[in-house]
A and B are shown apart, each in its own frame.
Chain A
Amino acid sequence: MASITLDRLAHSYDPNPKTDADFALKEIDYEWEDGGAYALLGPSGCGKTTLLNIISGLLVPSKGHIKFDGKDVTHLQPEERNIAQVFQFPVIYDTMTVRQNLAFPLLNRRVPRDEITKRVADMIEVLDLADKADRKARRLTADEKQKISLGRGLVRYDVNAILFDEPLTVIDPHMKWQLRTKLKDLHRQLGHTMIYVTHDQTEALTFADKVVVMYEGEVVQIGTPEELFDEPAHTFVGYFIGSPGMNVLPCQINGKTAEIGSTKIELAREYNISGSNIELGIRPEFVSLSSDRAGIPVQIDAVENIGRFKIVRANLEGHSINAVLKEGESVPADPTFKFATDRINVYENSHLVRAGG
C-alpha cells in the first residue's frame, strides 16, 4: 500500500506537442493518499485511461513524475511497480481452476507453498467463491470471473494500489450493484489504495471517497461526492454529475443581482466580476415551484415522471431549465420558479467563482 504522487504530470501521444490541445492529459499535480478509494470520472476520451495507464506503468508520461510513497517510479515496468489491475473484460486463465488462478501470481513470486495455500483459501472466503473453488475458471459467470481477476491482485497483500479500468462494463445490471458493494467492503477490510476509472457517475459516487472529474484531458475537480454535488468547480462537473444535471444559464452579474435577460435573480453575496462569459448554475433539486407572482416567470414545456420524483422541463428567457418535484408535489396552476439563493453558483469562463472572487 502506498500513497501516489502525481508530480506535474502531463502526457501527449504526439512526440512534439506544441499547443495545449496536443495533450491528452493536461498537467496535473496531486497526491493520492495511502488507502484511499478514488474514482476517475469523465466521458470517453477525457484522458482518464491515459492517466490510469501512466499509474500502472503501461505508459511513460511525456512530462512530470509519478511517485509511490515518495519513490520515483516513472520509468518502472508494470511488474516492478507492484500494482494490481482489473480490466474492462475479465481476464482469467481458462485452463486453471479458481484456486489455481488465485495462486498464480504468488507462485510466480515464489511465495512458500503453505503460505500460498493459506492466502488463497482466505481469498476464496472473502470473495464468496468457496463452492466454486475447484471448478475451471472459464465456466464461471462474468461477475465471478471479474471477482477472480480482482482476487489475483488482492492475494498479494503488499500491492501498492489496485487499479480498475471500467470493471463493471460486462456485468449484468443486477450484479453490478452487488459487485460494487463487495468492492467497497473489500476496501474497508483490506485498506488498499484503489483507483477506479469509470464514465458512470453512480459507480464513481458510490465507490469513491474522492472523485476526480476529468474533461478534455484536464482534471476539473477533485472532491468528495458532496462537494461535487454542492459546489461543482466547473460547469461540466455540474452538468455531468446529477440527474438531471445542473441548470447552467448565461447571465450578467450586477453586484448582488444576476440578470438573465430581463429576469433579475438575487444572489447570496456580492460578486465583483465583469467578464463576458458569466454563467449561473443551480441544481434542479434547488429549484422549487410555486404560484407566487413574485417568482421567476417560466413557461413549462413538459413534466416527466421518473418514479420517485418528477422533472419539470421549462423555458426561461429562451434557456431551458429543469426543476425537480418531489413525490406527492404537483405542478401548481400558472407556476413560477424560485431558486434557493444559497445554492446558486456563479461561473466565469466555465470555472466556479469562489468567495472573494
Chain B
Amino acid sequence: MDKPYNNKAWFLVVPVFALVALSAIIPIMTVVNYSFQDTFGNNQFFWAGTEWFQDVLSSDRFWDALGRNFMFSVIILSIEIPLGIGIALTMPKKGIWVPVCLVTMALPLLIPWNVVGTIWQIFGRADIGLLGYSLDQLGVNYNYASNIFDAWATIILMDVWHWTSLVVLLCYAGLVSIPEAYYQAAKIDGASRWSVFRYIQLPKIRGVLIIAFLLRFMDSFMIYTEPFVLTGGGPGNSTTFMSIDLVKQAIGQFDLGPAAAMSLVYQLIVLSVCYVFFTVMSNVGVDKPDARVED
C-alpha cells in the first residue's frame, strides 16, 4: 500500500467544485437560509428556527397538494409504463419502418412543456378545440375549467401523450439489444408468447425500465408548467400540485420562509421516494445467498 500521496492533486478538483458550488450548493443554501429565518423587508432577517417547517407540515394545504402529487404520479405511471412497454413490443426491429416509428415516437418529446399545455388548452375548448368540440357534439358535457374530473382527465391524457414516448424509446432500446439466439432458443423450448415476454424480454429490459420509471416519477412529481398553463391549478384547488402551490406562496404571496421550508420538504420527499424505488427495483429478482425458488 505504498501509494504516492500528493495533496496538490486537490487543485485539479477545484474547477468542478466551483461549478457544483455555483450551480447547486449556493442556491440550495439560499433556500435553507430563508427556511430558518423571517424577514420584514429592508434585508433584515430574524432567526425563526423550525417554525416554518412546523407551519408547512401542519397545514392542510400542504398535505392536500402532496396527496394530489402522489395520486397524479401513480396514475400516470400505471398508464405510461405498461403502455410504453406494449408499444415498444409492437415496433418493428428492422427494416425501413424503424426510423419512421422512432421519429414519430420522439416527436411529442421535442415540444416544450408550456407549448404542450397551450396545445391541450386549445384542443380541449368546446368552442374552437377539436377534442372539446367533438365531445360537445357527442353530447358529453366536457369542461376542464369547471369540472374536476375533466380537468384531471385532460392533464393525465396530456401527460400520457407527452411522455409515453420516453418509456417506449427506452424499452425499445432494451428490446433490440436482446440477441436473436434467445428467441430461437425459446422457440425450440416451446415457450409461449407470454413466457418469452416474462422470462426473456422483461428481465432483459429491467435496467432501462428502472430508469424510465424513475425519470417519469421524478418528472411527474415535479409537474408544474402543463397544469399551470391548462388550468392554473383549478377548478378550485383541484389541480394545485405542490410546485404550483410553491410558486403561489413564493411569488404570489411573497411568503419566502414557508415557501423555502416547503421546497426543502418537497425535495426531500422526491429524493427519498426515488431512493426507495431504486433500492427496491434493483433488488427484485436478484439472487440472495440463501434464496430458494421464489417465482
A residues with a Cβ closer than 8 A to B are: 56, 58, 77-79, 83-85, 87-89, 91, 93-97, 99-100, 104-105, 108-109, 134-136, 138-139, 149, 152-153
Contacts and interface: CB of A to CB of B under 8 A. Distances in A.
B293 A91 contact: no
B295 to A, nearest CB: 7
A78 B295 contact: no
Interface in B188-242: 188-192, 195, 199-200, 203-204
A108 B188 contact: no
A83 B192 contact: no
B189 A100 contact: no
B184 A87 contact: yes
Contacts of B182: 91
Contact of A95 (B179, B185, B189, B199): B199
Nearest to B286: A136
B14 interface: no
A85 B187 CA distance: 10
B285 A95 contact: yes
Contacts of B191: 104, 108
B188 A79 contact: yes
Contact of B185 (A97, A138, A139, A149): A149
B181 A84 contact: no
A139 B179 CA distance: 19
A93 B182 CA distance: 9
15 contacts: A56-B188, A78-B184, A78-B187, A84-B188, A94-B204, A96-B199, A100-B293, A105-B188, A105-B189, A105-B190, A134-B291, A136-B285, A136-B287, A152-B185, A152-B189
A108 B200 contact: no
Given A78-B188, A104-B189, A89 B179 contact: yes
Contact of A134 (B189, B286, B293): B293
B186 to A, nearest CB: 8
Given A91-B181, A139-B287, A97 B293 contact: yes
8 tightest A-B contacts by CB?
A: A108-B190, A136-B287, A91-B185, A87-B181, A105-B189, A94-B203, A93-B199, A95-B203
Where chain A touches its partner, the secondary structure class is mixed
B292 interface: yes
Determine which residue in A77, A89, A104, A153 has the highest number of CB atoms from chain B within 10 A of its CB, and name it.
Answer: A104
Nearest to B199: A93
Contacts of A138: 287
Contacts of A94: 199, 203-204, 285
Interface string B264-295: 00000000000000000000011100011101
Given A77-B187, A89-B179, A136-B285, 16 more contacts: A78-B188, A79-B187, A85-B188, A91-B179, A93-B199, A94-B199, A94-B204, A100-B293, A100-B295, A104-B195, A105-B190, A108-B189, A134-B293, A135-B287, A152-B189, A153-B188
Nearest to B284: A95
B190 A87 contact: no
A99 to B, nearest CB: 7
Contacts of B295: 95-96, 100
Contacts of B286: 136
Contacts of B188: 56, 78-79, 83-85, 105, 153
